[in-house]
Amino acid sequence: MQYQRSSALFKAAQDVIPGGVNSPVRAFKAVGGTPIFVEHAKGAYLYDADNNKLIDYIASWGPMILGHAHEPVIEAVKSRADLGTSFGMPTALETEIAELAISMVPNIDKIRFVNSGTEACMSAVRLARGATQREKIIKFAGCYHGHSDAFLIQAGSGAVTFGSPSSPGVTRGTAKDTLLAPYNNLEAVAQLFKEYPDEIAAIIIEPVAGNMGCIPPLKGFLEGLRALCNQFDSLLIFDEVMTGFRLAKGGAQELLGIKADIVTFGKVLGGGLPVGAFAAKNEIMKHLAPEGPVYQAGTLSGNPLAMAAGLTMLQELNKDQEVFNRLDLKTARLHEGLETVLKDTDIPFQINRLGSMISLHFTEDEVIDFETAASGNNEKFNTYFHGMLNEGIYLPPSAFESYFLNDALSFEDIDFTINAFKKVVKTI
């Protein structure tokens, strides 16, 4: 495939946008080469600036669960735009989508809409701190909760020490209140509670990790976190920005049978427009302004275009809950196909999957946390990525990202992908 126009567009973008992109993973730094500039998308396909057609396996990092330019969502946005795009005032739409979301998700009474997953997670942590009157949080290495200062923390000198800032601009004072543990390591979390029994406001976690590839929780891990939070009067925050309304109607809470105290949402909830949200039971949400003292605000929160898109998306998912089974079957087909091809080679590999999230790791080790994900062979992944791209298949341009399937993908698309992989694997 040829990418001359994408190359020219990237060069022009670098003159006026840092790195030429508005989110770092788009720059292809992890895989090399020039990023693809998209012209439009429909269903399961992307169409780039060079008129290449690509089968899409990122779905805008999750929200396009029904496929790109899904007609009911697009029509809802068009109709709403005719009435005005922003007011900074309440609309009935906000109540309507709130009522629907609460009816679909277990264990929540109220929901507050914001504009991004980062904002949702940042606000959820502030709410947890305000509700518990404690300052420290526990997060997990490799889990991404947006670019708020409290989350940009890397490991310290040991598995259960204070973290240190992983980005300039994040203060050590901020980092001292973020405790870091390995994902799927309950013992490390228990040790943190032993060291700081009265200081931990909350644990925040992706119940199914999607930012070190797809990493499901090991049996008993989330249950153990729930028990520790109960024991030490801390709150359990599920970051369901990726998993909410994707793994099941009620997200990971429903699928895995674990109740979180606060849940954050994004992606699917906006139907492709910028939306985030956080939700909890009344006894927690009552601490939030204007009802309580924990401040959070946003002029564009509850934006009518985003609410119209999100409401339509949730209505579609709520009336056709078989979508989750269809996605499971399609993802299983992809998993089985990749595995069958790789078994006939001497290439070390692991495939992780849960629901419509899946990732391929070029390593012999079981991938259960950031350390084991990082053991994968990046050179092989880069060859794989570019080989598949040349076959017309767009995968996440990083070995540390989950793939997200959408319902517009056909089994023929998946079989095409597997056949393309048969060619590409010979070059890995």
pLDDT digit string, tens, across residues 92-119: 999 999 999 999 999 999 999 999 999 9
Report which residue type is found at 145.
H
Q: Please list the active-site residues.
A: 144, 239, 267
Note the pLDDT of residue 122: 97
Note the pLDDT of residue 149: 85
CATH topology of domain 71-319: Aspartate Aminotransferase; domain 2 (3.40.640)
Alpha carbons 412 and 194: distance in angstroms, whole number: 53
Tell which residue, 267, 270, 269, 285, has the closest CA to residue 107. 285
Q: Where in the chain is the domain with CATH 3.40.640.10?
A: 71-319
Note the pLDDT of residue 160: 38
Tell which residue, 161, 24, 141, has the closest CA to residue 151. 141
Note the pLDDT of residue 159: 37
Give how far Cα 359 sits from Cα of 44, 55, 229, 339, 362, Å.
18, 16, 30, 12, 10
The torsion angles phi and psi of 151, rounded to 5 degrees, stand at -100, -15
Give how far Cα 240 sits from Cα of 165, 250, 262, 322, Å.
24, 10, 10, 20
Residue with tokens 């997670």: 121
CATH topology of domain 4-69+321-427: Aspartate Aminotransferase, domain 1 (3.90.1150)
Give how far Cα 42 sits from Cα of 45, 46, 273, 382, Å.
6, 7, 16, 27
Note the pLDDT of residue 341: 98
Report which residue type is found at 398.
S
Q: Where in the chain is the domain with CATH 3.90.1150.10?
A: 4-69+321-427
Alpha carbons 353 and 373: distance in angstroms, whole number: 14
Residues of the chain predicted below pLDDT 70:
155-164
Residue with tokens 């060619």: 423
- Burial class of residue 169, CB neighbours in 10 A (0-12, 13-18, 19+): exposed
